[in-house]
Amino acid sequence: MSGSDLVFKVSPGGCLKGEIRVAGDKSISHRSIMLGSLANGVTEISGFLEGEDSLATLNAFRAMGVKIDGPDNGNVTVHGVGLHGLKAPHGVLDLGNSGTSMRLLSGLLSGQAFDVEMSGDGSLNSRPMKRVSVPLGSMGAIVEGTEAGTPPLKVKGGQALKGIRYKMPMASAQVKSSLLLAGLYAEGETCVIEPAPTRDHTERMLQGFGYEVRVDGRTACLSGGGELQATCIDVPADISSATFFMVGAAIAADSDVLLLHVGINPTRIGVINILRLMGGDIELQNERVVGGEPVADIRVRSSQLRGIQIPEEQVPLAIDEFPALFIAAACAEGDTVLTGAEELRVKETDRIQVMADGLKALGVDAEPTADGMVIRGGEMSGGSVDSGGDHRIAMSFAMAALRATGEVKIADCANVNTSFPGFVALARGAGLQIGSQNGE
């Protein structure tokens, strides 16, 4: 462990209480910058997530000539340049740890007149990109990675794109979004057919910017040649970030939290559905629609969770929330079985293996499988866990300390800032006994 590594140290026990507004939704923050940049006019964004991933997207568009004011306390002003107004950047676009930025930009940049190279950190440069480069190739795009299909990616400009009808082999909102963004520049109609529902923020936001998207069941279609018109976007709080507090409140005795202004897009509420199936006490209050996205305040109180067989149709609706759900399973009575989640093996880390290793380090019976895990709930001891540099794993094990019998020490936590800046202060304010320090 290098001297700059951040270590979380969390004392055992405690409970969570109070009203909490977590960081803004990362998926919506990314897309607000992308579509705002391509729109005609000035887009005002509030609630923007000032984490490293969404800032990577913001900086990429600045590098391509878009004037962007902020972020200032979540407020961003994007001076759109229109669909054909981007300029070639002066060097490689560095997207840090953000797979969303790279996959969505692969589609968007396929329609530009100039060449671009995109790269990232060690984790991003080891992630699979053929899932977007291959279907984009069938549209006429040229997106080249390494022999292994990983970044750096070179996107060749000046290609004449043609619309396609693409049946996705696996459910992925990033692949769907990448193809729809390329479709803005393609001749004819681009349709993407999903094997299972995934988050639909791109389709909703395109419509919010006045672009026609036709959605019929699991098929989304658009035609090239239209225009985007600037709008105002209030980014809801991120349900993925709210998940850590939902799980923490569910597992810790005497907890009662109200999570404010959380996005409850139907393609993202797998975590609520799964926790309720496990016996979680979750109540949605003040439901409303803000900027095309459904929002609610979520009240969670402590409850006795029980192990379940997680329904496979819920898996794509909760794919980012499984690290935290694994902690809930470890505190539940009986066995929890997850199948159909092989996608977890190609996230920031192999989340199945890293979570299983961490749970075992805390004395939990956790058996990884090819596409999921079997977790036998029981007592959790203290111990040392390595997050593998994965922000969601770090925050999940921080919440595990609420039920642990000893201190939980989590290594390699610097990447928490990619998705949830201010997590430590917010968690401490709610009652988690967490501190952080640089590792030795």
Each residue's pLDDT tens digit, 103-148: 999 999 999 999 999 999 998 999 999 999 999 999 999 999 999 9
CA distance 92 to 116: 7
| Average pLDDT of the chain to the nearest whole number | 95
Enter the tokens of residue 50: 């000032």
CA distance 7 to 20: 24
Structure confidence at residue 440 (pLDDT):
46
Structure confidence at residue 439 (pLDDT):
62
CB 38 within 8 A of CB 64: no
CB 72 within 8 A of CB 47: no
User: In percent, how much of the chain has pLDDT > 70?
Assistant: 99
Write the DSSP string, 136-188: HHHTT-EEE--TTS-SSEEEESS---B--EEE-SS--HHHHHHHHHHHTTSBS
Q: How many CB atoms lie within 10 A of CB 160?
A: 11
Coil, helix or strand at residue 420: coil
Q: Which is higher by pLDDT, 75 or 421? A: 75
Residue 339 DSSP code: -
- Rounded mean pLDDT of 244-253? 98
- Give Cα 341 distance to the centre of its chain: 16
- Give Cα 138 distance to the centre of its chain: 27
H or E segment and range at residue 10? strand 6-10
pLDDT band at 186 (very low <50, low <70, confident <90, very high): very high
φ, ψ dihedrals at 117, nearest 5°: -115, 135
Each residue's pLDDT tens digit, 62-114: 999 999 999 999 999 999 999 999 999 999 999 999 999 999 999 999 999 99
Active-site annotation holds for 365? no
CA distance 407 to 263: 33
φ, ψ dihedrals at 179, nearest 5°: -70, -40
Each residue's pLDDT tens digit, 260-286: 999 999 989 999 999 999 999 999 999
CA distance 387 to 5: 11
What lies within 8 Å, CB to CB, of 255 at 6+ separation is: 15, 16, 17, 248, 249, 300, 301, 302, 402, 431
- Rounded mean pLDDT of 292-300? 94
Structure confidence at residue 3 (pLDDT):
36
Amino acid at 364: V
- Rounded mean pLDDT of 202-210? 95
pLDDT band at 165 (very low <50, low <70, confident <90, very high): very high
CA atoms within 13 A on the CB side of 199: 27
- Rounded mean pLDDT of 388-415? 96
Structure confidence at residue 345 (pLDDT):
85
Residue 243: beta bridge partners? none
Structure confidence at residue 79 (pLDDT):
98
291 has a pLDDT exceeding 80: no
Q: Which of 25, 53, 320, 412 is catalytic?
A: 320
Structure confidence at residue 419 (pLDDT):
72
φ, ψ dihedrals at 297, nearest 5°: -95, 135
CA atoms within 13 A on the CB side of 250: 31
Coil, helix or strand at residue 276: helix
Report the candidate in 3, 55, 1, 2 with the shortest Cα–Cα distance to residue 24.
55
Domains recognised in the chain with CATH numbers:
6-24+236-438 (3.65.10.10), 26-234 (3.65.10.10)
Report the candidate in 12, 14, 60 with the shortest Cα–Cα distance to residue 36.
60
Query: Count of residues for the chain?
Result: 440
